[in-house]
A and B are shown apart, each in its own frame.
Chain A
Amino acid sequence: MEGIYFDNNATTRVDEAVVEAMLPYFTEQFGNPSSMHSFGNKVGLAIKKARMQVQELLGAEHDSEIIFTSCGTESDSTALISALKAQPERKEIITTTVEHPAILTLCTHLEKEGYKVHLLKVDGKGRLDLDEYKKLLTDQVAVVSVMWANNETGTFFPVVEMAELANAAGAMFHTDAVQAVGKVPLNLKDTKIDMLSVSGHKLHAPKGIGVLYLKRGTRFRPLLRGGHQERGRRAGTENSTSIVGLGKAAEMALEAMAYENTEVARLRDKLEAGILAKVPRSFVTGDPTNRLPNTSNIAFEFIEGEAILLLLNKFGIAASSGSACTSGSLEPSHVMRAMGIPYTAAHGTVRFSLSRYSTEAEVDRVIAVVPEIIAQLRKLSPYWEGDAPKAEPEKAFAPTYA
């Protein structure tokens, strides 16, 4: 499909080499890896290879630390529920206000079941207060779950340091690293991270495949019980095709790691600077000095994000927004609210997320189109007059709540 795809934090296109690696496992190599005959055996070997490819990308010590799951969400649920079941005497969880719903919704549910959930706050740039964290780390905490990089702003959390602190307090440490894996060099064997979630479709592998990294020796209780697959830690016949695809994608991500952090970062910076230079009353959210190389989240004040996306889409440009309307909820993105971004800007946030397939020409095109779109919507906005916001915009237009 033609168009400019700058929504790679939502999902990525499957690399053609990945598809090619997968195809034989639909037809010739269709066997069940658990079977004794050679149909199964070859698939078993392919899965073994994929496991080692993922191991290498994560910098894990053993290939048996890689458990294939169906998605990042399954990995997250498995990790947290396992930590609680394995340590019934510990009833508390520490996480952050800006986690993905895969963690937050689960924690809300666990709260109803009697667990205590501590949500770490963030500052205006989306950074954590480690002193607050240290105070909460007691012998009641079963597990700490902190994302490696935020999906909306790309901001990194100091997970390696936080894992050390958790380990010292006897708590398990999990990180949802679905945005970071493939973009950040990892060396898990040198960290105290016990569990880490990966999602295949964020790194050019297909949807429907994920990984839970489980450090050897970490006490574990499976979410799915049944057959002996994944050494009894995740029952269910292996999604062999997608596992092979994820292995190939992991290998390619490792090769592209330097490119992601130099060239993709350069394109992202150019895009961001280009837009900010041309659009008044716009600013970057999150911490621009410490974030994913591919992500830029820009708030356009006094207009609403879904309207921006619809107009971008008309120009063939795909991005995403933290506005309430894009999700059908009544509040803008919880990440923007947690950072204290005012409503008039939070609804107008747009996330551009690039990939190694993004090109300079695409960046130039987006820089050319965005300012027109923003100006067009601001003409409709009751907060705007001419080419600037009204004086004291929130007083000039203060509708009664409806």
Chain B
Amino acid sequence: MWDYSEKVKEHFFQPRNAGVLEGANGVGDVGSISCGDALRLMLKVEPETDIILDAHFQTFGCGSAIASSSALTEMIKGKTLDEALKVSNQDIADYLDGLPPEKMHCSVMGREALQAAVANYRGEVWSDDHEEGALVCKCFAIDAVLIEDTIRANNLSSVQDVTNYTKAGGGCSSCHEGIEEILVKVMTERGESFKPGTPAKEEAKPAGMTNLQRIRKIETVLDAIRPQLKRDGGDIELVDVEGKTIYVNMKGACAGCQMEALTLQGIQQKLMEELKEFIKIVPTKAGALSRATCHP
């Protein structure tokens, strides 16, 4: 059984804005019936202001697809089209207090339906270049297509390379056999043979970033997240950076919160996107100690 958050369950059991929207002037149909998820998003946009007056959905899909659709309609109502387009799939997942890695594609589908509906309203043609493969790395929700494309584009030849470029395999490491299989396939195509133990390519560090710049960048990302945490009565503090490990202190309500692991996962994701490298975020002992006192 999936570990769905209460918010996901609530939006699934009582979906908001479900059904046909009469007088819709922007409609986006996306999804793939073969993988069992498809969504029609209907918008009623006020032409003078570009404000989304109403949004409805119809979804063929699982619990999280229906919940993501419902959440999306709630999030974009009252926004202008340009504001609405800033809603990312991660925002949809965050709104639902997170989705299991296998289900992140449901939030991606929501985001794409939004793009498609806006394009439809504006009379543009929306084309989608995103192809989805079988999920390989469950820790970071990386699929086979992305791994294969990345190996091909960057001439990668080791599992470590793949982890550096895509994050896949950087967590529990149980998908390394799967990553090796993709490496074998792509390397055979380019006439090489896969050798386990091949050293990784030179560290895929962002070009020219000094340690200081890197730490500043990390601070910027944390600063951007901070208001969200503060809203829930918590905070985060950067303690140290050691290579690819970033030590933080979870403070206030965040420390020992049941959602802490999920929050950290989200922050790690944002940091990796910004730094363009694989990093690991570790809550420090101080945080762990305060947790111990909170929950004896």
- With an 8 A cutoff between CB atoms, is B240 at the interface? no
Q: Is A381 in contact with B102, judged by CB distance below 8 angstroms?
A: no
Q: Is A397 in contact with B13, judged by CB distance below 8 angstroms?
A: no
By beta carbon, the residue of chain B nearest A384 is B58
Q: Is A400 in contact with B29, judged by CB distance below 8 angstroms?
A: yes
A residues within 8 A CB of B31? 399, 401-402
Nearest-neighbour CB distance to chain B for A349, whole angstroms, equals 11
Pick the contact of B15 from A332, A380, A383 — CB < 8 Å?
A: A380
A residues within 8 A CB of B66? 307, 380
Q: Is B30 in contact with A402, judged by CB distance below 8 angstroms?
A: yes
Give Cα A328 to B141, complex, Å: 11
Nearest-neighbour CB distance to chain B for A391, whole angstroms, equals 15
Q: Is B15 in contact with A304, judged by CB distance below 8 angstroms?
A: no
Give Cα A323 to B30, complex, Å: 19
Nearest-neighbour CB distance to chain B for A4, whole angstroms, equals 16
By beta carbon, the residue of chain A nearest B181 is A112
Give Cα A399 to B133, complex, Å: 18
Most A C-beta atoms less than 10 A away, residue of B59, B60, B62: B60
Give Cα A66 to B61, complex, Å: 45
Q: Is B135 in contact with A324, judged by CB distance below 8 angstroms?
A: no
- With an 8 A cutoff between CB atoms, is B34 at the interface? yes
By beta carbon, the residue of chain B nearest A330 is B35
Nearest-neighbour CB distance to chain A for B187, whole angstroms, equals 16
* Chain A, 332-354, CB within 8 A of any chain B CB: 332, 343-344, 347
B residues within 8 A CB of A329? 134-135
Q: Given A325-B36, A330-B35, A343-B36, are A402 and B62 neighbors across the interface (CB < 8 Å)? A: no
- With an 8 A cutoff between CB atoms, is A178 at the interface? no
Q: Given A330-B132, A380-B19, A402-B128, are A397 and B40 neighbors across the interface (CB < 8 Å)? A: yes
Give Cα A347 to B33, complex, Å: 9
Nearest-neighbour CB distance to chain A for B156, whole angstroms, equals 22
Q: Is A304 in contact with B60, judged by CB distance below 8 angstroms?
A: yes
By beta carbon, the residue of chain B nearest A346 is B36
Interface residues on B, range: 35 or more
Q: Is B134 in contact with A325, judged by CB distance below 8 angstroms?
A: no
At the interface, is chain B mostly helix, strand, loop or mixed? Answer: mixed
Pick the contact of A381 from B29, B58, B63, B130 — CB < 8 Å?
A: B58
B residues within 8 A CB of A332? 34, 36
At the interface, is chain A mostly helix, strand, loop or mixed? Answer: loop
Pick the contact of A401 from B15, B32, B63 — CB < 8 Å?
A: B32
Q: Is A399 in contact with B36, judged by CB distance below 8 angstroms?
A: no
Q: Is B62 in contact with A306, judged by CB distance below 8 angstroms?
A: yes
Most B C-beta atoms less than 10 A away, residue of A311, A328, A401: A401
- With an 8 A cutoff between CB atoms, is A314 at the interface? yes
Count of chain A residues near B, Cβ 8 A: 32
Pick the contact of B30 from A305, A325, A380, A400 — CB < 8 Å?
A: A400
A residues within 8 A CB of B100? 328
A residues within 8 A CB of B103? 325, 328
Q: Given A382-B38, A399-B32, are A328 and B135 neighbors across the interface (CB < 8 Å)? A: yes
By beta carbon, the residue of chain B nearest A347 is B36
Give Cα A224 to B108, complex, Å: 46
Nearest-neighbour CB distance to chain B for A187, whole angstroms, equals 39
Give Cα A323 to B38, complex, Å: 13
B residues within 8 A CB of A310? 9, 12, 63
- With an 8 A cutoff between CB atoms, is A379 at the interface? yes
B residues within 8 A CB of A304? 36-37, 60-62, 65
- With an 8 A cutoff between CB atoms, is B151 at the interface? no
A residues within 8 A CB of B133? 330
B residues within 8 A CB of A302? 60
* Chain B, 127-142, CB within 8 A of any chain A CB: 127-128, 130-135
A residues within 8 A CB of B37? 304, 325
- With an 8 A cutoff between CB atoms, is B76 at the interface? no
B residues within 8 A CB of A398? 29
Q: Is B32 in contact with A402, judged by CB distance below 8 angstroms?
A: yes
* Chain B, 84-139, CB within 8 A of any chain A CB: 100, 102-103, 108-109, 112, 116, 126-128, 130-135
Q: Is B33 in contact with A343, judged by CB distance below 8 angstroms?
A: yes
- With an 8 A cutoff between CB atoms, is A303 at the interface? yes
A residues within 8 A CB of B127? 400
Nearest-neighbour CB distance to chain A for B119, whole angstroms, equals 11
Q: Is A307 in contact with B12, judged by CB distance below 8 angstroms?
A: yes
- With an 8 A cutoff between CB atoms, is A331 at the interface? yes
- With an 8 A cutoff between CB atoms, is B39 at the interface? yes
Q: Is A324 in contact with B36, judged by CB distance below 8 angstroms?
A: yes
* Residue interface bits A309-326, CB-to-B below 8 A is 1, else 0: 011001000000001111
B residues within 8 A CB of A399? 29-33, 38-40
Q: Is A382 in contact with B40, judged by CB distance below 8 angstroms?
A: yes
* Chain B, 34-93, CB within 8 A of any chain A CB: 34-40, 57-66
A residues within 8 A CB of B130? 402
Nearest-neighbour CB distance to chain B for A308, whole angstroms, equals 10
B residues within 8 A CB of A397? 29, 38, 40, 60
Nearest-neighbour CB distance to chain A for B280, whole angstroms, equals 24
By beta carbon, the residue of chain A nearest B4 is A310
By beta carbon, the residue of chain B nearest A303 is B60
Give Cα A329 to B130, complex, Å: 17
| CB<8 Å pairs between A and B, sample of 6 | A307-B62, A310-B12, A328-B100, A330-B132, A397-B38, A400-B30
Could you list 14 further interchain pairs (A-B, Cβ under 8 angstroms) beyond the known A324-B35, A330-B132, A332-B34? A305-B62, A307-B12, A307-B66, A310-B9, A323-B36, A325-B36, A330-B133, A343-B33, A380-B18, A397-B29, A399-B33, A399-B38, A402-B30, A402-B128
